Amino acid sequence: MSLGSIPMRYRVKIDREQCMECMRCIDNCSYGVFREENGKIHIDSRNCTVCHRCISMCPRDAIDLHERPVDYRSHPLWTPEAREDIINQARGGKIILSGMGNAKPYPVIFDRLVLDACQVTNPSIDPLREPMELRTYIGKKPKQLHITKNEAGDLELETELSPNLKLDTPIMIGHMSYGAISLNAQLSLAKAAAKVGTYMGTGEGGLHEHLHPYQNNMIVQVASGRFGVDIDYLERGAAIEIKIGQGAKPGIGGHLPGEKVCADISCTRMIPQGSDAISPAPHHDIYSIEDLAQLVRSLKEATNWEKPVFVKIAAVHNTAAIAAGIARSSADAVVIDGFRGGTGAAPKVFRDNVGIPIEAAIASVDQKLHDQGIRNKLSVIASGGIRNSADIAKAIALGADAVYIGTAALVSMGCRVCGNCYRGLCPWGIATQREDLVQRLDPEIESEHVANLINSWTLELSEIMGAAGINSIESLRSNRSRLRGYMLDEGTLEVLEVKPVGA
Amino acid sequence: MTSRTINAKNMHYTPLNKRIKELVKTGVQEIVLENVLGQRFIANGLRGKVTIHIHGVPGGDLGMFMSGPTCIVHGNCEHAPGNTMAKGKIAIHGSAGDAVAHSMRGGKIFVRDNIGYRGGIHMKEYGDNPAVLIVGGLAQAFLGEYMAGGKIIVLGSGSDRAVDGREIGSGIHGGEIIVRGDVDEKQLGVGAITEDFGKEDLDAIKPLILEFCESFSLDPKQYLDTKYTRIVPASSRPFAGKYTWE
């Protein structure tokens, strides 16, 4: 007995009166929704992924798109999604793969935190007239400075400083590998990072030679597959990041299927063409916090202790204790990726159910490091679901030094968060290696868009800070008294160390 | 050939490596390290054509990210010599710990005696320089786990079972593991299968065996027959077919 087909998820319609039959929808859709037959455009709605490419390119606004045009019997528990996943798995006995970040409607803590502003008793600052300090240094800070006076009477710093990254804005671009995204997408991000004075991550996919001109703005990643990692790669990066975990899929590895390993990707990852690139769940030389310290020191030793080393972990239940261990390892920063972090592909059950929100993770890590008197030893970088400048301000007030953005940067290049990244057909030229699709993305133009986004958020941050009477980002960091929780439960408020509204 | 000696007694690894890098920069072709006792990361990220003789026991991650040099260890090694190594050679006149040749991408590691667990884990190959690990003695369980390329040869000297442990080649999706003598089916990990070892296979590894034996002044004759088991991946795509789309 056949299970039959499930109802179509989206229905695409063309307003035939509006349509001028320019066929742009056919050219633009890489999923095969549109086709021409006898001079007429035919539609197969089942192929639609809601990537909006056709809609954005239609000169007449003739395309209509509706989600779930077919109703199920409504039920609060047995949602259409629950039923469809079961049917899917009953058919094939397989793990369901998904893209982008957590898609379950968990409450967003950021949206239940409100920021403070000055009124009467303390003056706000006008960023138009007053200098606002958003410069951020990522890396170890000395606990105290020793200064001596030399014979000429000048002051000299005796304390040896650790290498730090200098950011003109607390916004960095997170790690998305060549393979997960296209070279043009990486180029756009790299150009943008250089333009706005920040950094971007390479992901675990090596560093293509076209990115070498931007290497001073790139953080190279060392993950469990060690793909693309050699001494040349390590020396090129402005900093090195050890990836232990990822918010979208804590506790598991990843793999780039062999069909995506083309000649160019094989070259940057340093593996044979067509071979699966499997990143195991653990690093096989890390089985303890001491082993992690050894890898940190090994990377430092290889690069003459000249580069900051970051450790990226997924936000999980004991993140704070892990971060405290990392702080004692010679690492310079910890990156915490919350459970809303994006991905090219992750098992849906992980994406939607494993890990904790970034807001809680930052607060508990920051508090633990403060409690142990080692906050200066480690910068905290927050990532996973940062959507706007308010999220950044709140993340910093909860204890982050800087944030990584990923999905937001992709959206600024055209991505509509359709979540089909793993299919390699991204019509925006981002999550694909198909040459004709990649060519749609012009790094000159898209780097401008990404830079614009970071610049707007930086402007908004200075406005938010000015309104709160704060003229330096350092005075916002861990400044939880400038936050209030709105409709947050007592337990969460306690973890965040934030008072409720009105208190 | 210009040669220099460093007495590593009581020396921390950072000044030791700094000194090695300085010497290599000035064109020294041979460096002798005396009294090495547990210093980690020796020759870490080192480039060039230098040969380093290490007397004593180096600590973990010897030659990690190394790209070109030769390290000859006159003694035993700690864990993970040749970790993520790209080019060059490490010859160990003794035994080594766990995770030898971890993620190694190219070059050669010769271990005269035994190695610990997870030898050759996630070893790879790229271009015309596949990673090679040859063990003269025995290897423990999880040999060649997650292996993605390159060649592991275990000669099992002095024993009739070169590998006694299980989970050999668990998750293997590239490369080959060649073990002297027989390997039981139950010793194989998921994704690994055995293949017959024939005359052509011997011809393929013969230059490596000769080079290995020469490094340790061994008689190669005892190894030049077809009494080996060849372990290869059942598929280069172990995860294909595991997933369905959302």
Cα–Cα distance measured from residue B59 to residue B36, given in angstroms and rounded to the nearest whole number: 9
* Chain A residues inside the 8 Å CB shell of B122: 225-226, 280, 284
Q: What is the mean pLDDT of chain A?
A: 95
Question: What per-residue string of b and e applies to B219-228 under the rule 16 or more CB within 10 Å gives b?
Answer: eeeebeeeeb
- Helix H, strand E, coil C: the string for A26-42 is HHHCCCCCEEEECCEEE
Interface test mutation site (partner B, options A48, A255, A276, A417, max chain B beta carbons within 10 A): A276
The whole-angstrom separation of Cα A334 and Cα A323 is 7
Q: Is the pLDDT of residue A262 over 90?
A: no
What integer pLDDT is reported at residue A280 of this predicted model?
Answer: 87
Does B122 sit within 8 Å of A280, measured CB to CB? yes
Q: What is the pLDDT of residues A420-460, one digit of tens each?
A: 999 999 999 999 999 999 999 999 999 999 999 999 999 99
Judged by a CB distance cut-off of 8 A, whether residue A275 touches chain B is yes
Instruction: Give me the pLDDT at residue A108, please.
Output: 97
| 3-class SS of residue A423 | helix
Return the higher-pLDDT residue of B129 and A54: A54
Residues A460, A140: Cα–Cα separation, whole Å: 28
Q: Closest to A234 (Cβ–Cβ): which among B65, B121, B242?
A: B65
Interface membership of B241 toward A (CB under 8 Å): yes
Residue of A275, A284, A423 lying closest to B122 (CB–CB): A284
Lowest-pLDDT range, A8-17, A75-84, A123-132, A258-267? A258-267
Per-residue pLDDT, B238:
72
Residue found by looking up tokens 């830079």 in the block:
A451
Strand partners, A36: A41
Whole-angstrom CA distances from A328 to A56, A59, A325, A484 are 50, 58, 5, 32
Å from A235 to nearest chain B CA?
10
In this complex, is the C-beta atom of B128 within 8 Å of any C-beta atom belonging to chain A? no
Does residue A275 have a pLDDT over 90?
A: no
Pairing, β A379-383 against β A333-337: parallel
B3 close to A291: Cβ distance less than 8 angstroms: no
Q: How confident is the model at residue A1 (pLDDT cuts 50, 70, 90)?
A: low
Each residue's pLDDT, cut to its tens digit, for chain B (246 residues) gives 799 999 999 999 999 999 999 999 999 999 999 999 999 999 999 999 999 999 999 999 999 999 999 999 999 999 999 999 999 999 999 999 999 999 999 999 999 999 999 999 999 999 888 999 999 999 999 999 999 999 999 999 988 899 999 999 999 999 999 999 999 999 999 999 999 999 999 999 999 999 999 999 999 999 999 999 999 999 877 777 888 888
A91 contact residues in B (CB cutoff 8 A):
244
Beta bridge partners of B5: B32
Share of residues in chain A with pLDDT > 70 (%): 100
The per-residue pLDDT for B128 is: 86
Residue of B nearest to A91 (CA): B244
Contacts of A484 (CB under 8 A, 6+ apart): A113, A114, A116, A498, A499, A500, A501, A502, A503
Pick from A95, A297, A420: CB nearest B242 = A95
Residues 6+ away with beta carbon under 8 Å from A64: A12, A13, A14, A15
Alpha-carbon distance B225 to nearest alpha carbon in chain A (angstroms): 30
pLDDT in tens, A136-148: 999 999 999 999 9
8 Å CB contact of B243 and A95 = yes
Q: How many CA atoms lie within 13 A of A180 on its CB side?
A: 24
State the pLDDT at residue B123: 96
Chain B touched by A87 (CB under 8 Å): no
- CA of B212: how far to CAs of A149, A169, A282, B100, in Å? 61, 55, 32, 16
pLDDT over 90 at A374, yes or no: yes
Nearest to A285 among B18, B80, B173 (CB): B80
Residue B241's pLDDT is: 80
Question: pLDDT digit string (tens) for A283-309?
Answer: 998 999 999 999 999 999 999 999 999
A72-119 per-position pLDDT tens digit? 999 999 999 999 999 999 999 999 999 999 999 999 999 999 999 999
Asked if B14 has any chain A CB less than 8 Å from its own CB, the reply is yes
pLDDT at A195 over 80: yes
pLDDT digits (tens, 9 = 90+) for B3-44: 999 999 999 999 999 999 999 999 999 999 999 999 999 999
Q: Which residues of B touch A228 (CB under 8 A)?
A: none
- Predicted local distance difference test score (pLDDT) of residue B157: 93
pLDDT at A204 over 70: yes
Output the pLDDT for position A404. Answer: 98
Q: Is some CB atom of chain B closer than 8 A to the CB atom of A294?
A: yes
Task: Give the containing element (helix H, strand E) for A379.
Answer: strand A379-383
Rounded Cα distance, A364 and A450, in Å: 31
Those of residues 303-362 in A touching chain B at CB distance below 8 A are 303-305, 347-348
Q: Between A298, A420, A423, which is nearest B64 by CB?
A: A298
- Cβ contact (<8 Å) for A302 and B64? yes
* A272 close to B (CB below 8 A): yes
- Looking at CA atoms only, how far is residue B44 from chain A in angstroms? 5
Q: Are B45 and A302 in contact (CB < 8 Å)?
A: yes
| Cβ contacts of A482 within 8 Å, gap of 6 or more | A115, A116, A397, A468, A470, A476
Is any Cβ of chain B less than 8 angstroms from the Cβ of A31?
no
B 161-220 residues inside an 8 A Cβ radius of A = 171, 173-174
* Interface test with chain B among A235, A298, A330, A351, by most B beta carbons within 10 Å: A298
What pTM was estimated for this model as a whole? Answer: 0.96
Chain B neighbors of A270, CB-CB under 8 A: 105, 124, 126
Provide the shortest C-alpha distance from residue A288 to chain B (in Å): 14
Taking CA–CA distances from B147, the nearest residue in chain A reads A278
| Residue A3 in contact with partner chain B when CB distance is under 8 A | no
> What is this model's ipTM?
0.95
For residues B92 and B110, the answer to whether their CB atoms sit within 8 Å is: yes
CB contact under 8 A, B245 and A423: yes
Residues 54-73 of B with CB under 8 A from A: 60-61, 64-67
